Amino acid sequence: MFKSKKSTLIIASILAVGALVWLATGNIAGSQSSVSAKADKTNTKKPDLFKVQVAEFIAAPLVNSIHLQGQIEAYRRIQIKSETSGLVEEKLAKKGDVLKKGEQLLQIELNHKLLDLDYAKAQLLAREADLEASQRLMKSKMVSSNQHKQTQAELAQAKARVKQLDIDIQQTKITAAFDGVLNDIQVDKGDYLSAGDPIATLVDNTSLIITANVPQALVHKLHLGLPIKAELIGGRVLNGELSFISNDADPQTRTFRVESRINNLKDMPAFGQSASITLDVDPELAHQLPNSLLDLSTEGTLQVKAVDDNDTVINMPVEIIRSQNSGTFVNGLPESVRLITVGQGFVKAGQVVIPELEAASGE
C-alpha cells in the first residue's frame, strides 16, 4: 500500500513537470512568432521618398529673329550683245552714264544694208504684180494651180526679205533695254562686231534686292511678307519685306536663297556691299530657362527633368530657340510645366519624388 501511494506521487510529479515545460515552450514560441510578425511589418514599410525642388514655368510669346550675312544686289543686270555684224560707226555713251529705256548708246555702220533694202522692196513690188497677173490668168484658166501657188510663194519670200532687212537695220542702233546705269562698255569706234559679241553692261539703278542664304533648319519659319532689315557696313539701314524664297536648296551649302526688293530709293547704295541681315519671324511660345536645367539624354538630345501630376520624374526633350546671358529660350514643352530646379542630378525618369515648390527664376 505504501508503494502504491509512492508510485502515484511520482506520476503526479512527472505530469506537473511536463505541464510546466509545455507552458514554457508555448510562451517562447508565441513570443518568437510575435517578434517575427513585427519584423515582417518593419520590412514592408515603404522607403523614404527623395525630395526635390520644383518651379512652375509658363511659356510666353517670343519675337524671334534670324540673323544672316547677305549683300545688296542690283535688281536687273544685263550684258548687251550685238545682234548684227559691222563696224562701230559712233559711240554715243560712256561708262557710268545714266540712260533711259530706248536711249541709243552705239551705232553700227549700215554699209550696204540700205541698198539691200531698196532692192528687196523693188523685188516685192515685182512679186505683187506677178501675183495680180496670175490671178487674172487663173480666171481664164491660162495658168495651172501649181504655177499660181509658186507665184504666191515668191511673194511671201519677198515680203520676208524686206522684213528681215528692216530688222537688221534697226539692230545697228544699240539702245538701253530699261532705265539704268551703263556699268561698262567694251567697244570703241572702229571696232568690228559680229552677231553675239558683247558690247556693254547695263545695271538697273531704280531697284535693288537684299539677298541672303537661310539654313535649311530655319527655312520653315519663313513666309513672304516677313520684315527684313539690312545694315550696311557704313551703318545705313535698309528696310523691306521678304519677296522671294527659293524652293531649291543650294546643293553645296544646303541653304535657301531669299530676297527682298526695294524700289525708288532716293540715294541708291553701291551694289555688291555686304550687309547684316535680320529677319523677324512670327512670334512663338517659348520658355526661358536657366542654363543649369538643361541636360543631355543618353541619346545625346537636349532635355529637362520635370514632375508630372503624380509626382513622377519625366524627361522632356527641348530645342533651343535663342541663348543669352539671362537664360536660354526653348520650345517643345507644355505651356505650363513643373521643372526640377534642385536635385535633378539625383533622380531618374519614372521615380516618384516629393516636390517642394519654389518661385520660378525664369518667369
Check pLDDT > 90 for residue 182. yes
pLDDT of residue 20: 53
Lowest model confidence (mean pLDDT) among 31-40, 100-109, 179-188, 315-324: 31-40
pLDDT of residue 142: 82
Which set of grid coordinates corresponds to residue 88?
A: 562701230
Helix (H, G, I), strand (E, B) or coil at 188: coil
Q: CA triplet 222, 228, 232: central angle to 5 degrees?
A: 135
Which set of grid coordinates corresponds to residue 214?
A: 537661310
pLDDT of residue 78: 93
Higher pLDDT, 20 or 163: 163
Mean pLDDT of 67-95: 93
Check pLDDT > 80 for residue 134. yes
pLDDT of residue 18: 55
pLDDT of residue 359: 58
pLDDT of residue 363: 43
Residue pair 337/293 in contact by the 8 Å Cβ criterion: no
pLDDT for 141-169, tens place per residue?
Answer: 788 888 888 988 999 999 999 999 998 89
Mean pLDDT of 54-66: 89
pLDDT of residue 184: 92
pLDDT of residue 141: 79
pLDDT of residue 360: 47
Higher pLDDT, 198 or 43: 198
Helix (H, G, I), strand (E, B) or coil at 69: strand
pLDDT of residue 112: 86
Nearest-angstrom CA–CA distance, 213 and 248: 11
Mean pLDDT of 162-185: 92
pLDDT of residue 80: 94
pLDDT for 310-335, tens place per residue?
Answer: 999 999 999 888 887 778 999 889 99
pLDDT of residue 42: 47
Indicate yes or no: pTM above 0.75: no
- Indicate the pLDDT class of residue 44, thresholds 50, 70 and 90: very low
Lowest model confidence (mean pLDDT) among 1-5, 216-220, 317-321: 1-5
Nearest-angstrom CA–CA distance, 328 and 286: 10
Check pLDDT > 60 for residue 228. yes
Nearest-angstrom CA–CA distance, 330 and 32: 61
